[in-house]
């Protein structure tokens, strides 16, 4: 222990439990226990009496006098088009919510452009990304820690925080923030002491563009000020009044504008915000509205749409009322899950907390309406938002012959001919597979030309960068491809999420070239630790340790060259992995030490890691388990990831992996796939800058992954600071994946992401295909290195001075982007390295294990009984 105290002098032993406290009373010379401490505070005032007399509960209010009638089909369609609804929204997002009361699940990563790079009109919601906890302040486990979670909150006038009076209780209590039309009707009719509702329209004249939108926001904020000065305590912002001339102000913009205006005028605590809008329909939309100040949200058009799905026979197993109830349940449960990613347990704490980062919005817009939100690359302003709103509004009031009265396809979640652009499309997939099957570098160059061109035109931040002209060197002087591929890894894809055949195929391929394959978090069959008769090895060099610890044993750990601690995953940061029960057969269950047919969900946090110090302990433990293996920590790009990476370096990790938001997955909520994390370009640049500025870069290797597809992608990553590179989706495509995005359904038609024995027989991938892909990447990288004058990869790591922003960016939204923060080169004084030059000192020689093993050697080698006694102190970490 920390203190040596004789047992007879200990009155009581225990630990400080969650939610409990004790007080050391130095004057009385005693410790006041939790119950006594809280009882004294609880008896101070008649709190329960105040609540019974003054608190108004929404469910206790009378029904509204005149319910709002439903829209007819034509009106509903116009509104759906004006708010940007697509067939995909209805089919993939809303239908599962209404049917099961659960948020929809998808698979594979997102390979569509960022909102600011998309040619399609985007909702303002899509310019924001969720923040999440990793390592410090960990995410909450919403299943095991449900006891501390609550969506219940109050809205209305908040009194002085430093006083306690009955007036503090004169608020409206809601069980959850997303409410139906009847509940909104009750709120609108509230006219009682301290609870007075006023409705304010959030519309602007669409033909007036950005100037009209700015004016309408000023009027909206002025009306809010006037309403509060006249005694209103509930402001209902509504866009129901939209028509051909008046478009809705984006609900997020209106909410944030009023929220910050009232903060600046000192009146925010005098009212609650209620949003009545047709725009929000998925979990991210609701989370953003709450995060920017909304106390309650009525998605009236989403509710109408859910009822339409029942009437049209798309939802057959539920009535209209049940479908709406399920939809609202899924929406509210989804908000809870988003809150847990940041370790927030109550809605009251989450409301107005702005736990988001903006990508592609300019500083003027952020400062004016989203004050305090990080936005590092500038982007569009009110003019751009108005242009996108006008495009949707005009489309809604103009009959498009090709749509014939239907919604647009969408194409966010699956490739569609007239939908959103995907970097993995039939053309790029076919070209890559043709190249690796033919073993033709010439065909690979055709594929990379297509992908690089797509990236430059409309898809990624790295596409907006170009290489500075440099003095070229002959290609023969550049290090060989056989040396470069040793830096390549396949992503963490578990045995279970993908088939045994696909998993082993990747391992064989990477072992042939000296690269590394990754087990993912599903363990590995010990049979694979032995070489095959033909000399091939199916052993994965990287063994992952995730929060569920599935398949993690001592045998597993010692058979590794690198052990990766997964703190977050690109496709769903802040959440644990999940494997549906129908993918867990007897073999998968055996490897994971679980039960066949029972679904597995890893907890969002590692329950033994709540700080950098805890992570340091796990790194030390794993290093003691296998002192030959490097220890890697997997993080996901977000604002502030550089600080976390610095902590990881100080915790003595050998490698830190910065994953992009667009990484693949076998199963993930759609909200996470689309709206959590940011591009690796931002996270990698920040990590490199922070590590160099703190002179930590020399002792840790940096890796990145997330939709890396070509040698050019690798070159940009290296120049931004990466030494090692991961490929998951691309490696699967080389193995035969056609991105049907049904991994979570166990119905993969090419035998990759399935455990169905019939479908597994359709797997046609070969190690040679993956080997060809990796060698082609290395060859293309060599060409770029020669062009830039680098002989080795180490020479180019961190040389961000060889990158610059492209001059002539043709995309109308991308013109406002500023990539200065990505291209910033930190000032490195003499002797400060910009890449790894040494290794971490893990202090293993001081471990008590060494004394134990030395003392017990006769027992281990000859079976001689040994008896020994060692003092154990808190410095004996393992």
Full DSSP string of 567-618: S--TTSTTS--EE-GGG--HHHHHHHTS-TT--EE--SS-TT-SSHHHHHHH
Residue 555 placed within a domain: yes
Please write the tens of the pLDDT for every residue from 724-776: 999 999 999 999 999 898 888 889 999 999 999 999 999 999 999 999 999 99
Q: 644 and 692, same structural domain?
A: yes
Residue 55's pLDDT is 92
User: Phi first, then psi: what are they for 215, rounded to 5°?
Assistant: -65, -45
In-domain check, residue 17: no
Examine the pLDDT at 403 and tell me if it is beyond 70: no
Residue 635's nearest CA partner among 5, 38, 136, 4 is 136
Task: Spell 732-767 as b/e; 16+ CB within 10 A means b.
Answer: bbbbbbbbbbbbbbbebebbbbbbbeebbebbebbb
- pLDDT per residue as tens digits for the range 659-684: 999 888 877 888 888 999 999 999 99
105, 97 contact by CB (below 8 A): no
How far is Cα 603 from Cα 243, in angstroms, rounded to an integer? 47
488 and 437 both lie in a single domain: yes
* Residue 224 to residue 240: CA distance in whole angstroms: 18
What's the pLDDT at 136? 81
Q: Comparing 36-45, 60-69, 473-482, 483-492, which segment has the lowest mean pLDDT?
A: 60-69
Enclosing domain of residue 692: 426-797
User: Quick one: pLDDT at residue 870?
Assistant: 87
Q: With a cut of 90, say whether residue 828 has pLDDT above it.
A: no
Q: Is residue 697 part of a domain?
A: yes
Q: 741 vs 301, which has greater pLDDT? A: 301
Residue 231, CB-side half-sphere exposure with 13 Å CA sphere: 7
Per-residue pLDDT averaged across 495-505, rounded? 94
Q: Indicate the residue among 354, 374, 396 that finishes a domain.
A: 396
How many domains does the chain fold into?
2
| Same-domain pairing of 491 and 364 | no
Residue 239 is classified by DSSP as -
Distance (Å, rounded) from C-alpha 141 to C-alpha 147?
Answer: 10
Q: Give me the sign of the Cα torsion angle 392, 126, 153, 374.
A: negative
The pLDDT-based confidence of 354 (bands split at 50, 70, 90) is: very high
Domain contains 214? yes
Domain shared by 392 and 528, yes or no: no
Q: Residue 127's pLDDT band (boundaries 50, 70, 90)?
A: very high
pLDDT at 206: 95
With both helix axes pointing from N to C terminus, report the angle between 300-311 and 73-82 in degrees, rounded to the nearest 10.
130
- Rounded to whole angstroms, what are the CA distances from 110 to 45, 502, 785? 54, 21, 29
240 touches 276 (CB < 8 A): yes
pLDDT at residue 847 in the model: 84
Pairing status of strand 195-201 against strand 128-130 = unpaired
Spatial separation of the C-alpha atoms in residues 578 and 673, rounded to whole Å: 14
**C-beta separation of 572 from 547 below 8 A:** no
Mean pLDDT along residues 434-461: 88
Question: Mind listing the pLDDT tens digit for each residue in 73-105?
Answer: 899 999 999 999 999 999 999 999 999 999 988
- Asked whether residue 324 falls in the same domain as residue 432, the answer is no
pLDDT at 2: 67
Across the range 395-401, mean pLDDT stands at: 76
Same domain? For 389 and 430 the reply is no
Residue 454: predicted pLDDT? 72
Distances 801 to 448, 473, 521, 751, 805 between C-alpha atoms, Å: 24, 18, 38, 44, 11
What are the DSSP calls for 416-469, one per residue? -TTS---SS-HHHHHHHHHHHHHT-HHHHHHHHHHHHHHIIIII-SGGGEEEPP
Residue 434 is part of a domain; what is its CATH number? Answer: 3.20.20.70
pLDDT, tens digit, 9 for 90 and up, residues 216-253: 999 999 999 999 999 999 999 999 999 999 999 999 99
What's the DSSP call for residue 830?
Answer: T
b/e code 433-472 from CB counts within 10 Å (16+ = b): bebbbeeeeebbbebbebbbebbbbbbbbbbbbeeeeeee
pLDDT of res. 714: 97
Is the residue at 6 inside a domain? Answer: no
Mean pLDDT of the chain: 92
Cα gap 295→289, rounded to integer Å: 9
Q: Which pLDDT value is given to residue 578?
A: 83
Q: Please return the burial class of 646, using the count of CB atoms within 10 Å of its CB with bins 0-12, 13-18 and 19+.
A: buried
In terms of domains, do 389 and 320 share one?
Answer: yes
848 band by pLDDT with thresholds 50, 70 and 90 = confident
Q: What is the pLDDT of residue 406?
A: 83
At residue 402 the predicted structure's pLDDT band, cuts being 50, 70 and 90, is: low
Region 391-417 average pLDDT: 81
Phi/psi at 359 (5° precision): -125, 110
Q: How confident is the model at residue 508 (pLDDT cuts 50, 70, 90)?
A: very high
pLDDT band (50, 70, 90) for residue 399 = low
Residue 304 falls within a domain, yes or no? yes
Q: Note the pLDDT of residue 16.
A: 80
Of residues 576, 572, 573, 670, the one with CA closest to residue 126: 670
The pLDDT value given to residue 511: 97
The pLDDT of residue 456 is: 67
Cα–Cα distance between 40 and 34 in angstroms, integer? 10
Give residue 286's region: left, alpha or beta (phi > 0; psi -120 to 50): alpha
3-state secondary structure of 192: strand
Domain end residue (candidates: 770, 797, 824): 797
First-residue to last-residue Cα distance in the chain: 14
Q: What's the confidence (pLDDT) of residue 108? A: 86
pLDDT of residue 826: 87
Residues 195 and 94 in one domain: yes
Angle at 215 between CA 212 and CA 217, to 5 degrees: 110
| Angle between helices 767-788 and 711-720 in degrees, nearest 10 | 60
What is the pLDDT confidence band of residue 455, given thresholds at 50, 70 and 90? low
Lowest-pLDDT choice from 121-130, 166-175, 402-411, 660-669: 402-411
SS3 503: helix
Q: Residue range 428-446: average pLDDT?
A: 95
Q: 213 falls in which pLDDT band (50, 70, 90)?
A: very high
Q: Is residue 23 included in any domain, yes or no?
A: no
- Predicted pLDDT at 371: 96
Higher-confidence residue of 877 and 269: namely 269
* Residues paired with residue 466 on neighbouring β-strands, in sequence order: 804
- Give me the helix-helix angle, 320-341 and 300-311, nearest 10°: 130
pLDDT of residue 744: 86
Coil, helix or strand for 314? coil
Rounded to an integer, what distance in angstroms lies between the CA atom of residue 340 and that of residue 133? Answer: 9
- Residue 389 and residue 436 in one domain: no
**Cβ neighbour number for residue 163 with a 10 Å cutoff:** 8
Element (H, E) at 19: none
Residue 13 has pLDDT above 90, yes or no: no
Interacting residues of 314 by C-beta distance below 8 A, sequence separation 6+: 90, 91, 95
The Cα–Cα gap between 186 and 172 comes to 11
Give how far the C-alpha of residue 252 lies from the chain's centroid of Cα atoms, to the nearest Å: 20
pLDDT tens digit sequence for 304-313: 999 999 999 9
Q: Are residues 604 and 646 in the same domain?
A: yes
CA distances from 725 to 511, 704, 769 (A): 16, 5, 18
Q: Is the pLDDT of residue 643 over 80?
A: yes
What backbone phi and psi angles, to 5 degrees, belong to 704?
Answer: -140, 155
The closest alpha carbon to 254, from 198, 178, 202, belongs to 202
If residue 657 lies in a helix (H) or strand (E), which one and from where to where?
Answer: strand 655-659
Residues 549 and 682 in one domain: yes
User: Taking 80 as the threshold, does the pLDDT of residue 350 lie above it?
Assistant: yes
- Residue 199 CB contacts under 8 Å (≥ 6 apart), including other chains: 188, 236, 238, 276
- pLDDT for the residue numbered 457: 66
Q: Collapsing DSSP states into helix, strand and coil, what is residue 36?
A: helix
Let me know whether 513 and 593 are in one domain: yes
**Within a domain: residue 3?**
no
Q: Model pTM? A: 0.94
H/E element, 298 = strand 294-298
Would you say 328 and 283 are in contact if contact means Cβ atoms under 8 Å apart?
no
Average pLDDT in the 262-266 region?
A: 96
User: Tell me, what DSSP letter sits at residue 90?
Assistant: I
**In degrees to the nearest 10, what's the CA dihedral of 370, 371, 377, 381?**
50
Q: Which residues contact 368 (CB under 8 A, 6 or more apart)?
A: 257, 260
Per the rule left: phi > 0, alpha: psi between -120 and 50, beta: everything else, 448 is alpha
Compute the distance between CA of residue 346 and CA of residue 349 in angstroms, rounded to an integer. 5
For the stretch 378-388, pLDDT in tens is: 999 999 999 99
Among 740, 769, 797, give the residue marking a domain's end.
797
Continuous H helices in 266-314? 283-291, 300-311
Mean pLDDT of 410-432: 89
Closest to 422 in 3D by CA, of 742, 92, 812, 118 = 118
Q: pLDDT tens across 525-549, in order?
A: 999 999 999 999 999 999 999 999 9
Q: In the structure, what pLDDT confidence band is assigned to residue 400 with cuts at 50, 70 and 90?
A: low
Answer positive or negative: Cα dihedral of 141, 142, 146, 150: positive
């Amino acid at each position: 222990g920390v203190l040596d105290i004789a047992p007879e002098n200990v009155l009581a032993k225990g630990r400080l439990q969650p939610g409990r406290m004790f007080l050391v009373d130095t004057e009385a010379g005693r410790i006041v226990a939790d119950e006594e401490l809280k009882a004294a505070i609880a008896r101070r005032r008649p709190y329960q009496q105040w609540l019974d007399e003054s608190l108004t509960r929404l469910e206790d209010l009378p029904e509204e006098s005149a319910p709002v009638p439903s829209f007819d089909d034509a009106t509903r369609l116009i509104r759906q088009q004006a708010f940007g609804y697509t067939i995909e929204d209805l089919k993939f997002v809303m239908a599962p919510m209404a049917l099961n009361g659960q948020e929809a699940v998808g698979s594979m990563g997102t390979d569509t452009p960022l909102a600011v790079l998309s040619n399609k009109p985007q909702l303002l919601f899509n310019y924001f990304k969720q923040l999440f906890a990793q390592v410090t302040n960990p995410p909450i486990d919403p299943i095991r820690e449900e006891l501390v979670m609550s969506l219940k909150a109050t809205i209305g006038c908040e009194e002085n925080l430093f006083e306690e009076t009955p007036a503090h209780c004169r608020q409206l209590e809601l069980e959850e923030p997303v409410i139906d039309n009847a509940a909104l009707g009750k709120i609108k009719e509230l006219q009682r002491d301290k609870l007075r509702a006023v409705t304010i329209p959030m519309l602007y004249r669409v033909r007036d563009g950005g100037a009209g939108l700015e004016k309408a926001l000023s009027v909206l904020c002025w009306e809010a000020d006037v309403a509060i000065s006249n005694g209103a305590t509930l402001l209902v912002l509504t866009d129901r009044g939209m028509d051909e001339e008046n478009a809705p102000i984006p609900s997020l913009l209106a909410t944030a504008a009023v929220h910050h205006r009232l903060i600046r005028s000192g009146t925010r605590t005098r009212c609650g915000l209620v949003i009545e809008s047709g725009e929000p329909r998925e979990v991210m939309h609701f989370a953003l509205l709450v995060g920017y100040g909304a106390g309650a949200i009525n998605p009236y058009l989403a509710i109408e749409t859910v009822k339409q799905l029942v009437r049209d026979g798309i939802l057959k197993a539920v009535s209209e009322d049940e479908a709406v109830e399920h939809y609202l349940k899924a929406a509210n449960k989804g908000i809870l899950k988003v809150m847990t990613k940041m370790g927030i347990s109550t809605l009251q704490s989450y409301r107005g907390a702005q736990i988001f980062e903006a990508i592609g919005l300019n500083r003027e817009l952020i400062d004016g309406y989203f004050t305090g939100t990080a936005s590092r690359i500038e982007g569009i302003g009110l003019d751009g938002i108005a242009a996108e709103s006008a495009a949707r509004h005009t489309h809604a009031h103009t009959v498009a012959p090709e749509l014939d009265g239907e919604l647009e396809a969408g194409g966010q979640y699956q490739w569609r001919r007239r939908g959103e652009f995907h970097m993995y499309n039939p053309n790029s997939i076919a070209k890559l597979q043709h190249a690796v099957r033919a073993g033709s570098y010439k065909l690979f160059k055709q594929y990379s030309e297509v992908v690089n061109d797509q990236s430059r035109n409309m898809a990624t931040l790295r596409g907006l960068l170009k290489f500075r002209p440099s003095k070229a060197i002959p290609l023969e002087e550049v290090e060989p491809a056989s040396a470069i591929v040793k830096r390549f890894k396949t992503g963490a894809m578990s045995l279970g999420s993908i088939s045994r055949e696909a998993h082993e195929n990747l391992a064989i391929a990477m072992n042939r070239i000296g690269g590394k394959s990754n087990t993912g978090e599903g363990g590995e069959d010990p049979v694979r630790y032995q070489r095959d008769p033909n000399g091939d090895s199916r052993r994965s060099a990287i063994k992952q340790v995730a929060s569920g610890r599935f398949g993690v044993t001592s045998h597993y750990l010692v058979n590794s060259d690198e052990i990766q601690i997964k703190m977050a995953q690109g496709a769903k940061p802040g959440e644990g992995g999940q494997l549906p029960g129908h993918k867990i057969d007897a073999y998968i269950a055996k490897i994971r030490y679980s039960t066949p047919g029972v679904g597995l969900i890893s907890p969002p946090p590692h329950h033994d890691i709540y700080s950098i110090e805890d992570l340091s302990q796990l790194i030390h433990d794993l290093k003691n388990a296998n002192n030959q293996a490097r220890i890697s920590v997997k993080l996901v790009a977000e604002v502030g990831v550089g600080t976390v990476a610095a902590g990881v370096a100080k915790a003595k990790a050998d490698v830190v992996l910065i994953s992009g938001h667009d990484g693949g997955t076998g199963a993930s909520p759609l909200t996470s796939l689309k709206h959590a994390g940011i591009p690796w370009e931002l996270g990698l640049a920040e990590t490199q800058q922070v590590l160099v500025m703190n002179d930590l870069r020399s002792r840790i290797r940096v890796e990145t992954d997330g939709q890396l597809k070509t040698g050019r992608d690798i070159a940009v990553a290296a120049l931004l600071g990466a030494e090692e590179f991961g490929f998951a989706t691309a490696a699967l495509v080389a193995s035969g994946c056609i991105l049907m995005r049904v991994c979570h359904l166990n119905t993969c038609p090419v035998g990759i992401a399935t455990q169905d024995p019939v479908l597994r027989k359709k797997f046609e991938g070969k190690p040679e295909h993956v080997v060809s892909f990796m060698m082609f990447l290395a060859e293309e990288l060599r060409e770029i290195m020669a062009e830039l004058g680098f002989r080795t990869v180490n020479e180019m790591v961190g040389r961000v001075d060889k990158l610059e922003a492209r001059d002539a960016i043709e995309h109308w939204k991308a013109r406002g982007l500023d990539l200065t923060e990505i291209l910033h080169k930190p000032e490195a004084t003499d002797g400060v390295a910009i890449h790894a030059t040494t290794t971490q000192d893990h202090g293993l020689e001081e471990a008590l294990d060494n004394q134990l093993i030395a003392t017990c050697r006769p027992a281990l080698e000859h079976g001689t009984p040994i008896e020994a006694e060692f003092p154990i102190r808190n410095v004996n970490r393992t």
